[in-house]
Amino acid sequence: MTVKLSKQKLLFFRWFSLIVLLSGPFILTSHFAWAKDQLVVALGGEPSEGFDPIMGWGRYGNPLFQSTLLKRDNDLKIVKDLAVFYTVDSAGMQWDVTIGKDIVFSDGKPLTAEDVAFTFNTAAKAGGKVDLSSLDEAVAIGTDRVIFNLKKRDSTFINRLITLGIVPRHAYDDKYGRNPVGSGPFKMVSWVEGEQMTAERNPHYYGKVPGFKRIVFLYGDEDTMFAAARTGKLDVVAVPPHLGRQKIPGMHVHAVKSVDNRGLSFPTVRAGGQKTDKGAPIGNNVTADPAIRKAVAMAIDRNALVKGVLEGFGRPAYFVCDAMRWDNPHNVIKDANVKGARQLLAKAGWQDSDHDGIVDKNGQKAEFTIVYPANRSMRQGLALASADMLKKIGIRAHVKGKSWDEIKQMMHSNVIVFGWGSYDPMEMYHLYHSKLAGHSWFNPTFYTNTTVDAYLDQAVGAATLEEALPYWRKAQWDGVTGCGPRGDAPWVWLVNLDHVYFVSDCLNIDKSRIEPHGHGWPVTANIEQWSWSCP
């Protein structure tokens, strides 16, 4: 049953009631017996659109309620899940996938090739967060075989087999996201939006039986969840990096390396009154100058951000895919170079003509606003620290916290603190290809470079990831141009986070893989291996 909550005070009182419940006699007298069967966790990331893979649920992490055709192991190697066998034709235009037999959904009904084809065809038509633009049609052959016919060769298509959870044709409708049925290790029991979601072990799951019968996911702001952990009522809590040095009795810090980054998006076109079809203004006369963006990339002290804002839980970021195979090592800017940034600005005509500490050009001050989501304290810290660093090169950055609805209207004309990070190189395509300018959250900067577009198209159109690698790297920097910091720098990447969790000393969550962007609870990707060690 789904309940829509709208008042913050009501959320607080319901949360308080839950704490009282968890503190009751049952817990006090039967803690160890309960703990082996049930976990209470606070991982954030409540999906506003529900747990619907077709609308994007699970694309960064583990779908939990659904299964995928393929998956990654803890070393990020691609292994089989629902699929037991697959081939790709020599042209790279047809994928032939055979799924396992006797697999059923959590409602007891069989999962067949029809469900797989339905999932992919529906997602392709939905035009949501799952990029299936290269898929022509998925066709079920019998009960256990699916043929994926592509419109064009796509070296990244395998990632859709890894991330798109399979939904049941018989139970899918516009309410599915609130009442998901799947073949994953857990099934949803209840969800009170804004407060908690309860999942129980799926008795029909074909894989390793999870060690816990029930998991309660709590939702709330960072401070409330951290306080709850201090009371001993949580077994796992995700915290922002700046809280990672705190101490919680009975819990230890579990820090996981990630490709989850934070960066600044810079509008790359001049303001001229143009707007999106949603009425959002486009362009910024200061950030449209490449010299401004490249100077910012040079001046930011990323090591200081890691130390000061992340408390050491992270590493510097230079591009959206740092340390992935398609990353270009030329992106690295080892040390902040304030002198070089000042020289670059001066060469481009930015001078402090009135000696007020802010450079100007043709009567235009080097001044813009950095906007961060108002409920994200870590992004606020990055925005404030970055603004302070930019004073050294004569750029004045105002810092404002806004809601996501407001950011949607501001992101094409202001600098935004965004977070991305994926195992899929297609994310780079989404952020930098000109044809996706202003499409949903993709390419908010309206960046256009025909050379970069050509490299990106060649990368996607390659037969394999191996063949695509040179094109992904050249799109970033080919020695002359590119979308990286040595090229046009429409984004200035700041840090890659460590995902920080406090975990009960009794809970063993095994080896955690390098994690993608935080949506989708990536820490649960190996949840079948979690176990309780206390008596």
pLDDT at 520: 67
**Averaged pLDDT, 225-233:** 92
Same fold, 2-24+34-235+506-532 and 258-496: no
Domain boundaries, the chain: 2-24+34-235+506-532, 258-496
pLDDT in tens, 468-489: 999 999 999 999 999 999 999 9
pLDDT at 512: 83
pLDDT at 7: 41
> What percent of the chain has pLDDT above 70?
93
Q: Is the pLDDT of residue 261 over 50?
A: yes
Whether residue 502 contacts residue 222, with contact meaning beta carbons closer than 8 Å, is answered with no
Q: Is the pLDDT of residue 324 over 50?
A: yes
pLDDT at 1: 43
Q: Is the pLDDT of residue 5 over 50?
A: no
In order, the DSSP letters of 108-158 are SPBP-HHHHHHHHHHHHHHTSSS--TTEEEEEEETTTEEEEEESS--TTTH
What one-letter code names the amino acid at 481?
T
pLDDT bucket at 12, cuts 50 / 70 / 90: very low
Dist. CA 276–CA 179, nearest whole Å = 34
Dist. CA 341–CA 328, nearest whole Å = 22
**Averaged pLDDT, 179-208:** 96
Using alpha carbons only, give the angle 230, 234, 238 rounded to the nearest 5 degrees: 85
Residue scoring higher pLDDT (62 or 349): 349
Dist. CA 241–CA 259, nearest whole Å = 14
What one-letter code names the amino acid at 511?
K
pLDDT in tens, 429-449: 999 999 999 998 999 999 999
Dist. CA 284–CA 270, nearest whole Å = 5
pLDDT in tens, 375-422: 899 999 999 999 999 999 999 999 999 999 999 999 999 999 999 999
- Fold of the domain built from segment(s) 2-24+34-235+506-532: D-Maltodextrin-Binding Protein; domain 2 (3.40.190)
Contacts of 150 (CB under 8 A, 6+ apart): 92, 93, 94, 95, 134, 135, 136, 157
What is the homologous superfamily of the domain 258-496 according to CATH? Dipeptide-binding Protein; Domain 3 (3.10.105.10)
pLDDT in tens, 28-58: 333 333 447 999 999 988 888 899 999 989 8
pLDDT at 75: 86
Q: How far is CA 345 from CA 7, 38, 121, 392, in A?
A: 48, 58, 50, 12
pLDDT bucket at 22, cuts 50 / 70 / 90: very low
pLDDT at 24: 42
pLDDT in tens, 128-178: 678 899 999 999 999 999 999 999 999 999 999 999 999 999 999 999 999
**Averaged pLDDT, 8-29:** 42
**Averaged pLDDT, 324-351:** 96
